[in-house]
Amino acid sequence: MKYISEFREQRLTERIAKRIVDIAKRIDREVKLMQVCGTHGMAILRYGIVDLLPPNVKIISGPGCPVCVTPDNYIDKAIAYIRQGFLITTFGDMVRVPGSESTLLQEKSKGGKVKVVYSTMEALNLARSLPEERVIFLGIGFETTAPTIAASISMAKEEGINNYMILSGHKLIPPAMRALVEDEEIAIDGFICPGHVSVITGSRVYEFIARDYHVPCVVTGFEPVDILLGISFLLLQIQKNEARVENEYGRVVSSDGNLIAKSIMNKVFIPGPSEWRGMGVIENSGLVIRKEYSAYDVETRYPVEVTSPKVDRGCRCGDVLRGLIEPPDCPLFNDPCNPSHPVGPCMVSVEGTCNIYYRFWSGRVNRKIKISGKTD
């Protein structure tokens, strides 16, 4: 795999890290760079990139995990459908995410119909082969997964399959980034934009952040050289008081993104308000199924009323998702909250910040060292 190894080359990594230190010396304050993608969060800890950064450069995590940002209310609705006899299909992580009073896995153990699938096509096939079942696919995720779900709806309509439906909880990243950058409590100096999402959206979609908020953005890949280069690009802009979108991941991401994927997504969905865990309802940050496809929208066809009581589990996922705290700052981190017994969604998914910290940072937590480089 020569191609990958080029992006892990040690001497190149060290040279870029040194360049980062040099640029950071010319910035006489702490700089907060937010990554908005669980895979970036994982790579940054896994490859020890934080160890290469100077003390005044802090990487904070944002809402880059689809499972984590899905609120209790969505899980509660899915559970309400299970209790009405619907067959719920979903990607694996969702079954362990706590709702207000139960999880999909607990419902399954009580006889509820829940099946983990690996693609929307598998869910559609299930509906095709079980015409007596009302099959719901849990439509969560960002711009990366929405096109495949749109394609499954389009295919179901063409084939006249009428027992396949979506519970749409899709989220769009740019409106969430706007909400984050407007949040003065967080005070973000630069964005490491999500690589996978950008493949679909293109890098142009972040231009409003640089233009309207004077916050630099960089699209990067997931290898150490990619991430370090991205950080160096951001720091150079900050040092020069500039703000624009730079694309370090040009081998995969274009300015306009994947036009075919965007076209199928726009054919089936329109943007609408959506609730994010920890961030509340953000205008135009969700995807609503268009009227022409309403037969595939389970909430239109079979509306459910769910009142989700506010449950205080002591979980601080909302603050983790806004980059206000690091997971070890949560009193429940590690004990009792860990991947085997997750208290909150950020510990469930492998893209969740708490889960990532648990796997790649726990040894340091015991030594009380934080990602910011400070020691307690």
Q: What is the contact surface with ligand SF4 in residues (CB under 6 A)?
A: 315-317, 320, 327, 330, 332-333, 337, 343-344, 346-347, 354
Instruction: Find where tokens 């030594």 sit.
Output: 367
CB closer to ligand SF4 out of 199 and 337? 337
CB closer to ligand SF4 out of 287 and 337? 337
Residue 236 Cβ vs ligand SF4, minimum distance, rounded to whole Å = 33
CB closer to ligand SF4 out of 58 and 316? 316
* DSSP H helices in the chain: 2-6, 10-25, 38-46, 66-69, 72-83, 104-109, 120-129, 146-159, 173-182, 195-201, 207-213, 224-239, 259-268, 298-301, 317-321, 353-366
Closest CA to 119 of 143, 139, 98: 139
Closest CA to 267 of 300, 297, 291, 299: 291
CB closer to ligand SF4 out of 80 and 324? 324
C-alpha to C-alpha distance for 97 and 75, rounded to whole angstroms: 8
CB closer to ligand SF4 out of 37 and 330? 330
Residue 182 Cβ vs ligand SF4, minimum distance, rounded to whole Å = 23
Residue 28 Cβ vs ligand SF4, minimum distance, rounded to whole Å = 33
User: Residue 12 — left, alpha, or beta (φ > 0 → left; ψ -120 to 50 → alpha)?
Assistant: alpha
Residue 158 Cβ vs ligand SF4, minimum distance, rounded to whole Å = 41
Report the b/e string of 37-58 with b at 16+ CB within 10 A.
bbbbbbbbbebebbebbbeebb
CB closer to ligand SF4 out of 77 and 316? 316
Within 8 A by CB and 6+ apart from 358, the residues are 327, 333, 334, 338, 339, 347
Residue 145 Cβ vs ligand SF4, minimum distance, rounded to whole Å = 22
C-alpha to C-alpha distance for 220 and 242, rounded to whole angstroms: 18
CB closer to ligand SF4 out of 40 and 316? 316
Residue 359 Cβ vs ligand SF4, minimum distance, rounded to whole Å = 13
Residue 45 Cβ vs ligand SF4, minimum distance, rounded to whole Å = 15
C-alpha to C-alpha distance for 218 and 253, rounded to whole angstroms: 11
Residue 189 Cβ vs ligand SF4, minimum distance, rounded to whole Å = 24
DSSP state letters, 33-63:
EEE--HHHHHHHHHTTGGGGS-TTEEEEE-S
Residue 319 Cβ vs ligand SF4, minimum distance, rounded to whole Å = 7
CB closer to ligand SF4 out of 73 and 362? 362
Q: How many CB atoms lie within 10 A of CB 296?
A: 26
CB closer to ligand SF4 out of 268 and 356? 356
Edge to edge, the sheet with strand 164-170 lists 114-116, 87-90, 135-141, 164-170
Residue 105 Cβ vs ligand SF4, minimum distance, rounded to whole Å = 17
Whose CB is nearest to ligand SF4?
344
Return the SS3 of 219. strand
Q: At what angle do helices 146-159 and 120-129 cross, to 10 degrees?
A: 20
C-alpha to C-alpha distance for 32 and 184, rounded to whole angstroms: 13
CB closer to ligand SF4 out of 250 and 336? 336
